């Protein structure tokens, strides 16, 4: 399984993360999440708690965070569920990282709409900065992953970096985003095309034009 | 009772039956991989597709589709044929064509069904998926590339075995079945996932590359490793037993067998006693049968003779020994070799009265001094079923153990039996079908037996159609030996006090031999173990696979097992040893053949002549009911090494080291 993540050395991971426990703030959050589900159904909270744990690991390591095995076990124990069941969840969803990632986790969409709109250029911009698919750069800043559709096809091509989406990209805009991140700045999120605000058609509406200013009854025109 | 039509045949099916079950009732074979009648329904292999009207105009998975009134089901339409061929083709896309080197070959569901329902040729010429092997412990060998992800093993581990160690990680094409972090599956039932696996992904590690199924002669047997009386099939080639597989018997073992039952067989060829030995000047010397008999005759024991049965002794053996002891004028017969001395005047008071199959209907269960998981793993699965499926409550007294279900541990003090906390007695009294289970450990504490019987009465555990008083034994010989009168009031202490000049040990290895220093010890058994070391004369006998025999399990079920292979070397079947010895000692036993021996046994104990549950009635002996206030001991220290055959088995030794003592055998990652 060339594509499957290689779990880091277990002994080392246990030594580093064996003592993982919620911070006071996250303990409160975890309690609130568990309280959303009926008593005895606390296992339903496994996904939000794994995410919370990943974020806490991220905060501790100054990265986007990942899920070491002891941390998965900690969450499973907190929910009184067998380790394997939590482990199955963590391995199933791609947004749980099973290996350490860099500070910025660059997830480039390579599905058909993005591909047609130039995701190859976006990927090239990443590779231009020394990123390798599935690897973290030596400075620990960027991890590059090619992912499947993130549901932003109207603004293709797009990348997700940590919790933000960057859309309407090309080689140059992607490069400048990466430059800004590397310099510690926060680039503008959302569509990078200055002519677009969100996902509206560029240059004004192309359909249902009469609806722009007032309600219009199209039924007569059918 | 919905009425459905299957291929033009109309039939009534029970409410809640699935379409697949309806088709089976109509006599139609529905191919399947993931569906298994004793596991929950997954519906992920899609092999059981049938055409159902009314419904969407496409094939539907019959295993997960409930029947409805007026359904018309077609299992032989062109649509169904095409659907099966399609599913088969998809399953075979990533399945390697390595049948010639696969241990499942010849008994592989995928092989059989691709012949019966597949297209016959592949159209796939891309690369196949490959999956790394997973370590699953000493019993299960994995070749995960062959896995078709039916998840039967995952469901078995969770639902029946109760160890959530196995799971499916990753997703889509990357999905892999694995044990948690590739650790050994910590279950005494792990061998069953080998049988459940419809392909060759999980195969038996000890049996790897030993034989093809069509080379084996199959003999119906009854397992002697514990007192459950698991129905098994003994697969042998030539003179060697290669494996033991469970047979379906819903009253006893359903279709499971524990790992000891399955994998002690490599012990049957090791450390065997294959010729008589006589102790000369303190050392055991090989001898002929005549010399061995002469040595026994030279003891001149008169009527000072005893017979002590071991855990593996069968009824015919015990009867033959008993007849010989009686013919010599003796009457010292004991089967509880470790020194238990509970009252045996009423067999019903030491029997698993509820019945193994009925145990899953209990609603409140009190376990006293028994680690069911080790003493009777397949009774434990029944209790787990009661807990898991029907919400039964379990209370337990005794040394704490992980029973795979939640038990309320009350402590390990034996005196608790007569002064249970109020919430426990209330629960038992309020229960419709309360079940009390006493283990061998509990009965070893004086007073517990009587207190248990009193408790059964006070919580009303015995009522119409329900007897909730149970004793679970872990020795396969126990109920048979008690039926044959192997039970002295003081247990083995009576034998020690009587100082017999001559004693026969029928495969008895756990006896405190030092307590019988002046007794001439004749070991009649098949393995060179503790008993043989202490013996003055060794008479080599047949192991359980090497003779026909009758045995009685812990619920009093009389079952017969057949001979699969011959005993090695000069070893003989036990009854014939006693017959020949009787001649040498100048007495007669009254039988000259195995059949005559069995007939005489049945004449003496008619219940042994009828296969099935022996009726012991229900009589309560008057016993002291004040249990001593002390901790209940646990009689089994090591599940995998409970008898001479297991101790001779490399597989059982390895299981013990790895699963009980935590030694690390995981193979280095490649």
HSE of B463 in the Cβ direction (CA atoms, 13 Å)?
Answer: 10
Q: What is the pLDDT of residue B667?
A: 55
Chain B residues whose CB is inside 8 A of the A4 CB are 170, 174, 176
Helix-helix angle A24-34:A46-61, to 10 degrees: 170
Tokens representing residue A187 in the block: 């680039």
Structure tokens at B298: 């030279």
- Write down the pLDDT at residue A2: 44
For residue B657, CA distances in Å to B137, B138, B597, B650, B651 come to 11, 10, 41, 10, 10
Structure tokens that stand for B303 in this block:
């009527």
Q: Interhelix angle for A171-182 vs A119-128, to 10°?
A: 40
Task: List pLDDT tens digits, range B605-620.
Answer: 999 999 999 999 899 9
Q: Do A10 and B176 touch (CB under 8 A)?
A: no
On the 0-12 / 13-18 / 19+ scale of CB atoms within 10 A, A24 is exposed
CB-side neighbour CA atoms (13 Å) of B20: 20
Q: Do B181 and A10 touch (CB under 8 A)?
A: yes
Residue A9: predicted pLDDT: 82
Per-residue pLDDT, B666? 61
| Dist CA A93 CA A2 (whole Å) | 18
- Predicted local distance difference test score (pLDDT) of residue A203: 81
pLDDT of residue B450 exceeding 70: yes
Distance from the Cα of B191 to chain A's closest Cα (Å) equals: 20
Residue of chain B whose alpha carbon sits nearest to that of A96: B170
Could A82 and B165 be called an inter-chain contact, meaning their C-beta atoms sit closer than 8 Å? Answer: yes
Phi and psi torsions of B321, nearest 5°: -65, -40
- What's residue B259's pLDDT? 94
pLDDT band at A3 (very low <50, low <70, confident <90, very high): low
Q: How many CB pairs under 8 A join A and B?
A: 37
Q: Are B171 and B237 in contact (CB under 8 A)?
A: no
| Helix residue ranges, H only, B236-314 | 259-263, 289-297
Q: Cα A78 to the chain's mean position, in Å? A: 25
- On chain B, the residues whose CB falls within 8 A of the CB of A70 are none
- Name which of B188, B258, B185, B180 is nearest B226 in CA terms: B258
Q: What backbone torsions phi and psi does residue B192 show, to the nearest 5 degrees?
A: -65, -25
From the candidates B156, B162, B169, which should be mutated to test the interface with A, based on the most A CB atoms within 10 A?
A: B169
What's the gap in Å between the CA of A22 and the closest CA on chain B? 24
The nearest CA of chain B is from the CA of A194 a distance in Å of 39
* HSE-up of residue B517 (Cα within 13 Å, Cβ side): 1
How close is the nearest chain A Cα to the Cα of B424, in Å? 23
For the stretch B215-273, pLDDT in tens is 999 999 999 999 999 999 999 999 999 999 999 999 999 999 999 999 999 999 999 99
Beta carbons of B132 and A82 less than 8 Å apart: no
Using the Cβ of A3 and the Cβ atoms of chain B, whether some distance falls under 8 Å is answered with yes
pTM of the model as a whole = 0.91
Which pLDDT belongs to residue B481?
Answer: 94
Which residue in the block uniquely carries the two structure tokens 């030539």? B238
Closest alpha carbon to B164 in B137, B182, B186, B140: B186
Q: Considering only the beta carbons, identify the residue of A3, A10, A88 that sits closest to B169.
A: A88
Tokens (6 digits) for B480? 């048979």
Q: CB under 8 Å to B111, separation ≥6 — which residues?
A: B99, B104, B105
Exposed, middle or buried, B116 (CB in 10 Å: 0-12/13-18/19+)? exposed
| B469: β partners | B436
Percent of chain B clearing pLDDT 90 (strictly above): 84
Percent of chain B predicted with pLDDT > 70 = 99
Q: Which of B130, B164, B181 sits opposite A82 (nearest CB)?
A: B164
| Tokens of residue B89, six digits | 């083709």
Contact yes or no for B200/B102 (Cβ under 8 A): yes
Of B132, B170, B180, the CB nearest to A84: B180
| Chain centre to alpha carbon of residue A101 | 12
Phi then psi for residue B607, to 5 deg, are -60, -25
Bridge partners, B462 (sequence order)? B467
């Amino acid at each position: 399984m060339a594509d499957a993540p290689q779990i880091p050395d277990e002994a080392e991971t246990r030594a580093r993360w064996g003592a993982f426990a919620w911070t006071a703030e996250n303990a409160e959050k975890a309690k609130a999440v568990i309280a959303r589900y009926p008593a005895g159904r606390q296992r339903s909270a496994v996904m939000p708690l794994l995410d919370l744990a990943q974020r806490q690991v991220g905060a501790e390591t100054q990265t986007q965070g990942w899920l070491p095995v002891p941390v998965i076990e900690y969450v499973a124990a907190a929910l009184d569920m067998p380790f394997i069941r939590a482990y199955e969840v963590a391995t199933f969803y791609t947004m749980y990282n099973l290996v350490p990632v860099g500070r910025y986790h660059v997830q480039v969409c390579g599905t058909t709409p993005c591909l047609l709109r130039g995701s190859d250029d976006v990927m090239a911009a990443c590779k231009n900065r020394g990123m390798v698919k599935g690897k973290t750069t030596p400075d620990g800043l960027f991890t590059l992953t090619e992912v499947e559709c993130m549901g932003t096809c109207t603004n293709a091509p797009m990348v997700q970096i940590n919790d933000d989406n960057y859309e309407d990209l090309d080689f140059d805009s992607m490069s400048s985003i990466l430059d800004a991140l590397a310099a510690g700045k926060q680039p503008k999120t959302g569509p990078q095309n200055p002519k677009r605000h969100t996902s509206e058609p560029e240059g004004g509406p192309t359909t249902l034009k009469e609806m722009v200013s007032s309600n219009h009854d199209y039924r007569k025109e059918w | 009772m919905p009425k459905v039509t299957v291929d033009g045949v109309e039939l009534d099916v029970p409410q809640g039956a699935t379409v697949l079950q309806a088709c089976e009732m109509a006599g139609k074979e529905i191919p399947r991989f993931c569906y298994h009648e004793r596991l929950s329904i997954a519906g992920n292999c899609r092999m059981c597709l049938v055409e159902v009207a009314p419904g969407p105009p496409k094939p539907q998975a019959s295993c997960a589709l409930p029947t409805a009134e007026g359904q018309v089901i077609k299992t032989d339409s062109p649509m169904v044929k095409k659907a099966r061929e399609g599913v088969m083709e998809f399953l075979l896309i990533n399945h390697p064509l390595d049948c010639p080197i696969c241990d499942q070959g010849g008994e592989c569901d995928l092989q059989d069904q691709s012949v019966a329902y597949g297209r016959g040729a592949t159209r796939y010429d891309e690369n196949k998926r490959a999956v790394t092997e997973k370590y699953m412990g000493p019993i299960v060998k994995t070749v995960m590339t062959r896995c078709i992800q039916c998840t039967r093993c995952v469901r078995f581990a969770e639902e029946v075995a109760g160890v959530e160690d196995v799971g499916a990680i990753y997703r889509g094409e990357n999905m892999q079945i694995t044990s948690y972090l590739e650790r050994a599956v910590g279950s005494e039932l792990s061998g069953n996932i080998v049988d459940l696996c419809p392909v060759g992904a999980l195969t038996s590690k000890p049996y790897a590359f030993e034989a093809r199924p069509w080379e084996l002669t199959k003999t119906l047997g009854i397992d002697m490793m514990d007192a459950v009386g698991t129905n098994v099939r003994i697969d042998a080639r030539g003179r060697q037993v290669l494996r033991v597989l469970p047979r379906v018997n819903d009253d006893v073992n359903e279709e499971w067998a524990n790992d000891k039952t399955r994998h002690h067989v490599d012990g049957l060829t090791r450390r065997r006693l294959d010729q008589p030995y006589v102790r000369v000047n303190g050392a055991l010397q090989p001898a002929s049968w005549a010399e061995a008999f002469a040595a026994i005759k030279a003891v001149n024991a008169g009527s000072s003779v005893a017979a002590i049965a071991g855990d593996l002794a069968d009824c015919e053996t015990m009867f033959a020994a008993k007849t010989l002891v009686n013919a010599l004028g003796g009457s010292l017969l004991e089967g509880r070799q470790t020194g238990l001395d509970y009252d045996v005047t009423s067999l019903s008071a030491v029997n698993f009265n509820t019945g193994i199959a009925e145990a899953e209907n209990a609603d409140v269960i009190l376990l006293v001094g028994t680690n069911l998981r080790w003493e009777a793993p397949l009774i434990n699965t029944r209790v787990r079923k009661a807990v898991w499926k029907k919400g039964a409550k379990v209370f337990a007294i005794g040394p704490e153990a992980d029973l795979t279900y939640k038990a309320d541990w009350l402590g390990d003090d034996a005196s608790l039996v007569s002064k249970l906390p109020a919430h426990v007695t209330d629960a038992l009294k309020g229960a419709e079908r309360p079940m009390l289970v006493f283990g061998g450990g509990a009965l070893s504490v004086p007073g517990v037996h009587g207190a248990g019987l009193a408790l059964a009465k006070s919580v009303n555990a015995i009522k119409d159609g329900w007897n909730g008083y149970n004793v679970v034994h872990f020795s396969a010989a126990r109920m048979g030996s008690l039926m044959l009168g192997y039970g002295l009031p003081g247990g083995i202490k009576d034998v020690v006090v009587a100082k017999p000049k001559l004693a026969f040990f029928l495969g008895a290895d756990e006896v405190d031999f030092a307590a019988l220093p002046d007794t001439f010890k004749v070991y009649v058994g098949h393995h060179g173990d503790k008993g043989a070391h202490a013996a003055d004369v060794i008479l080599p006998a047949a192991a359980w696979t090497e003779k026909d025999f009758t045995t009685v399990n812990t619920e009093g079920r009389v079952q017969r097992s057949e001979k699969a292979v011959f005993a090695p070397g000069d070893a003989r079947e036990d009854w014939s040893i006693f017959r020949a010895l009787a001649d040498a000692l100048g007495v007669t036993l009254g039988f000259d053949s195995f059949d005559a021996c069995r007939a005489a046994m049945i004449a003496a104990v008619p219940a042994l002549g009828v296969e099935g549950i022996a009726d012991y009635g229900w009589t309560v002996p008057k016993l002291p009911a004040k249990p001593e206030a002390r901790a209940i001991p646990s009689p089994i220290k090591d599940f995998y090494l409970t008898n001479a055959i297991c101790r001779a088995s490399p597989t059982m030794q390895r299981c013990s080291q790895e699963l009980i003592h935590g030694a690390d055998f995981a193979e280095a990652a490649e």
